[in-house]
Amino acid sequence: MMDIHQILSQLPHRYPFLLVDRVLELEKGKRIKALKNVTINEPFFTGHFPHRPVMPGVLMLEAMAQAAALLAFDMQGIRPDDKTVYYFAGIDGARFKRPVEPGDQLIMEVSLLRLKAGVFKFKGTVHVEANLACEAELMCTMRTIA
């Protein structure tokens, strides 16, 4: 539904912090399904952990937030510019169910729960194959910077 070139045109993130490789499904204003391929070449694996590479949980939350941003931009029919930043406003109920290792493919599913006073609330999950790896409720907002 959205390839890396379309993602790059919407998200300001770049290597090594762009954590969405492809959008598989997008239901306008409702939900998004995206993927991230995890490789041994990820820079965080050097130190997390040298003896047993594991993707940091906070990066799974960030990957969900990036997918959520794509859903929000599509829903509002906008493209962010250099004066717009999409921020985390909160994270609730974050749970990590299994380690993510090199060779895994993350499938992020994010659904919009509500939009109130410019704050989006999403429910997100990350699966590896059929196994739940991470879940959380994410609050995000867009702000114009001076």
Q: Is the dihedral of CA 71, 74, 76, 78 positive or negative?
A: positive
C-alpha dist (Å) from residue 26 to 2, 32, 66, 109 = 9, 4, 14, 10
Tens of pLDDT, residues 80-108: 788 888 899 999 999 999 999 999 999 99
All structural domains of the chain: 4-144 (3.10.129.10)
**What is the set of active-site residues?**
48
Q: What mean pLDDT do residues 127-138 have?
A: 98
Q: What residues have CB less than 8 Å from 100, skipping those under 6 apart?
A: 38, 54, 55, 60, 106, 126, 128, 133
Task: Tell me the per-residue pLDDT of 19-72, one tens digit each, with 9 for 90 and over.
Answer: 999 999 999 999 999 999 999 999 999 999 999 999 999 999 999 999 999 999
pLDDT reported for residue 82: 80
Handedness of CA 51, 21, 128, 74 (dihedral sign): positive
pLDDT at residue 30 in the model: 98
